Amino acid sequence: MPVDYEKICEENLDRYGWDIERVAQMAFADSYADRTHFIFELLQNAEDAIGRRGDSWAGDRTVSFSLSQDLLRVGHYGAPFNENDVRGICGIGESTKSGDYTTIGRFGIGFKSVYAFTEHPEVHSGSEEFAIESFVWPKPTAPIDRDNQETVFLIPLGRDSRVDDNDKIADALAELDVRSFLFLRQIEELRWEVEGCDSGHYLREVKILDEIARRVNVIGHVEDLVGDETDVNEEWIVFSRRVLHGDKDAGHVELAFYVDRDTGEISELTESKLVVHFPTVLETRLGFLVQGPYRTTPNRDNVPPDDKWNQHLVNETCVLLRDALSWLRDRQLLDATVLRCLPLESFPGNMLAPLFSETRQLLSTEPLLPKFGGGYITADRALMGDSEAIRRLLSDEQLSELWGRPKSWLSGDFTVDRNPELRRYLMSELEFSETTAESILREMRPEFLESQSDDWMIRLYEFLGTQRALRSQLQRLPLIRLDDDTHIAAGNDSQPKVYLPTENRTDFPTVKKALCISPGALNFLESLGIKEPDLVDDVIANLMPKYEDADSVIGIEEYESDISRISNAFRSADSYSQRQRLLDVLTSNSWVMTSDSGHGTKRHSKPSDVYLATHRLTILFSKVSGVRLVDEEYECLKSDTVRSILIECGAASNFRPIQFENEARFSDAERQDMRIRSHSDERLSYEMGVYDRKLEALEDILSGISGLEFDSKSQISSFLWEALNELDRKYFEGEYKWSYYSVRSCSFDASFVDLLNRSVWIATEDGKLKRPNEVEFNELGWHPNEFLQTKIKFKSSDIENVAKKHGVDPGLLDQIVKRFASGELTEHDWNTAFPATTVAYVENETGTHVESNASERPGSNSYAQSLSDAMTPSPIDASDSPVVMPSGGPKTAESAKHDTQSSLSHGRQGRRVTREVTRFAPSAASRGLDEKFKNMLSGDYGRRCQICGRTFRTRKGDLQAFADHVVAPSESTGTNHFGNLMSLCGWHYALISYGQWVLLDPVTEEPIDAAHSDPDAGGIVKLLEKAETEFDNDGYQFITLPIRFWNIYSNWRSDAEHIDGEIRFTLPHRTYLVELLKT
């Protein structure tokens, strides 16, 4: 039977008075910023009402909202209204939940928000059918059509001041979603619809997992006005902890983690508002939801942070968080994503700030951090590897051994690309540092490495092969395992300490062969500069240290084995650098077994101190002590390979020239004369030295030859001559050097040349020893050497006397006799090539008469005629067309590039051919006179060109000019004469020697005929004698004559042209030229 509504009205009238409607309207209806908040109040009422049904209730647990244009209908199947409920909903401050903290909405002040939309809401529940007027007066109303178990609230709309009420309520209904009843325990289904518009339907299924956790699944379907549909299917894990208020049950604090249905993993929320049964406006900044029976502001739109009860609930939530993380860990659900949901940033003043401190404490002390390979560890035992490879390389046991305490890798999820915020949290809040290959290497000790398996060492090498930046550090660490399982460092590239294994055994420390089967490990070893030891390395590292000491004692068998290894290394060196490395070491060590040439004592010597034991040297040095010869009692030293090695390392097969300073060699006057002869100037700034040469042991050989038997004397004389024949020409001269504005020098015969010339060392047939100037060379039967015979002064023979008399080279004259006797020279060749005096000698030697035609020989002409012939009065083959490159350019056959390679090849092939050239060869006296004339020319013109005045300094600092014979030297024209020389630069030297040129009359500018040398005939002599004398800046006198060069092409595309200039003659030079022209 229904409650007595009239009685309740009378009681409320006495309690609140007649003005309650005005006061309540101001106090309740307009107190909510969000006027639709009553929807959540009705859901709270429904949750409590269904809860009062008890756990045995098997009926409907649905809540529905239906909005039409002027009415909102709310229904649920909770316990029907009783008198207390009627009094509570019609009272002020009469909530039935007073003293019961487990209920969340039995008609407290929250329900009064409905009056923002209606003046008289209706309640139809059980036997109660009433409307509420003026907030507190229940009035009977007509029953409605409803299920007898259903409680229905009717909220008529359309107040004059709220024309948009329908739209606001429609929007609020559309916002009902999963989180609206996620934490409710009684409501299982939620429906809402807006007439002619949107609708939504949600079903909630709960599975209890244990006493603190339950799995909540919510599915839903939403459809809007235009028919667009959205399906919802969410899964959550909700953790709960019961809280007490004093000794009374106050409900639960709860945490909800969203589960991604696609992956089955917990996922971080991007928005998380604090839930007090329903979402509030307080953003928690967490990746999960926090819910509890927090005290709210009167209108339930905020949560006071300083409230003691609320602070108590936060502390209880911290305990729940610890339990939740442990629960997730025990079920292998705690991963980096879950940790990312935790409070990783502290927000001072935030009510939930204790959760941040609790999180840091839990991760520091509890095994909650996911470990690589599975399981969980505390922060103090965790290492954060910088790569997957380093985590896979080292096990927990190995890490613990390296660090000396338990250590494990964190999961690979804590990386800058996967979880940057979480990684930053670990490094800033938990003081993690990233463990790199470099930091791992710092912990590795030889005893650790030696205890590891071969398979693990291969993995280590493969991993380190990717760490290119650490190469220099890796070379210093004992990472390389040898055959005996010990470890050493690789060493640097220039000094490797270990080598890769090969098929051939060596004395090197070698990497254990089992470690080289992996390509990755092998690449790593090679990147450290470790390579297969070649024979060169073997010699350098293993043999040569034994020979650093010349007095080292080495057995014959061992020595022969060593020489064999050296020979093999030399043959195997397949590059210049490899061979040079070997030769450098061989040169600097005493590995050659030698014997003293005089007394036969044996020891090891450096190659550069050794002579090859050739037959000739053995004889020459047989009576000389202190000379080291290769000991040929050792067969291993006789091979061609060893001989080649010795020679390349500095062993001598002939006399070893020794340069030394010999200041006493020349007097001051002699040095002054040397400066004048070589540079026409005696002046000097300072002397740099006299650098002489001698031959090692030559004095001992010469002093000991007299005590030998005749055969030995003859043999040593002959061998000495042969040795001198093979000596490079440069060693026969010394050098006197001084400075005068630049470095200057002149050469002289070396001391040993003088020694040979003044010593008795040539054995003659009469058994005596004589000096060279006492013996005719032809009598000795030795192989002639034109150069050497100019240094060693033998007694002159008849042919030499004739040659000297007629200014002919003795060797050439000897060839003339032989060729004429054999008929090789024709009469024409003879008449045009040789002077009459030479013909007479040949006739005497061969017994043959030669018809001489002296008039046809060039020597019969006057010098004036020869000069005229040298000039070109008019241009020959002058062309107006320019000189051009071949049409094909550098790629044509006319280019030198075409045959460069073949020319190089051909230059190394073929046989030597003796080439005989018939030429005019002045005598030694003539050569000396010619040299004197050239020095005079340098003195007259200061080594400058007579035509352009140019000169340049050479690399030695000397001025350079060419002293050129205007008319080619011959015997009978007097061309070896100062007047026949010109001082020229390279350009004008080429033009005078090979070009077309002519001297000009300075008045008529016509070419001069030099053959008309008679002054009365107006020739060149007259012009030279009558030329006006000029003075240069230094007061020296000179004259000039015009000169013209024909057919000059001055650039790439120019036409042929002639160039006029002037040629200068000093007065002394003019005097000689005029004298020559008159001859």
pLDDT tens digits, 358-375: 999 999 999 999 999 999
Asked if residue 16 lies in contact with residue 88, where contact means CB atoms within 8 angstroms, the answer is: no
Question: If you average pLDDT over residues 653-676, what whole number do you get?
Answer: 93
Chain segment 757-780, per-residue pLDDT in tens: 999 999 988 888 999 999 999 889
For position 161, what pLDDT does the model report?
Answer: 45
Say if residues 947 and 989 touch (Cβ distance below 8 Å). Answer: no
> So what's the pLDDT on residue 468?
85
Task: Classify strands 128-133 and 592-596 as parallel, antiparallel or unpaired.
Answer: unpaired
How far from each other are the two terminal CA atoms of the chain, in whole angstroms? 172
Radius of gyration, alpha carbons of the chain: 60
The percentage of residues in the chain with a pLDDT greater than 90, rounded to a whole number, is: 49
Q: Which residue has the higher pLDDT, 599 or 607?
A: 607
Predicted pLDDT at 873? 81
Give the model confidence (pLDDT) of 402-453 as tens digits.
Answer: 999 999 999 999 888 889 999 999 999 999 989 999 999 989 899 999 999 9
Whole-number pLDDT of residue 796 = 81
- pLDDT given for residue 854 in this prediction: 41
Q: What's residue 798's pLDDT? A: 64
| Cα angle for residues 673, 675, 676 (degrees, 5° grid) | 65
Find all residues with CB under 8 Å of 790, minimum gap 6, and list them. 924
Give the mean pLDDT of 150-179.
Answer: 83
pLDDT number for residue 734? 95
Planar angle of CA 989, 933, 960, nearest 5 degrees: 40
764 token code pair:
């003659």
pLDDT at residue 183 tops 60: yes
> What is the pLDDT confidence band of residue 81, given thresholds at 50, 70 and 90?
very high
The answer to whether the CB of 321 falls within 8 A of the CB of 360 is no
In tens, the pLDDT along 895-912 reads 444 444 444 444 444 444
Structure confidence at residue 397 (pLDDT): 95
Q: Give the pLDDT confidence score for residue 856 in this predicted structure.
A: 39
The pLDDT value recorded for residue 118 is 87
Average pLDDT value for residue range 1021-1034: 84
Q: What is the mean pLDDT of residues 52-70?
A: 91
- Residue 958 has which token pair? 């000397």
981 band by pLDDT with thresholds 50, 70 and 90: confident
pTM (predicted TM-score): 0.54
3-state secondary structure labels for all residues of 431-499? CCCEECHHHHHHHCCHHHHHCCCHHHHHHHHHHHCCCHHHHHHHHHCCCEEECCCCEECCECCCCECCE
User: What's the chain's average pLDDT?
Assistant: 84
CB 193 within 8 A of CB 71: no
Q: Which tokens go with 604?
A: 């090891």
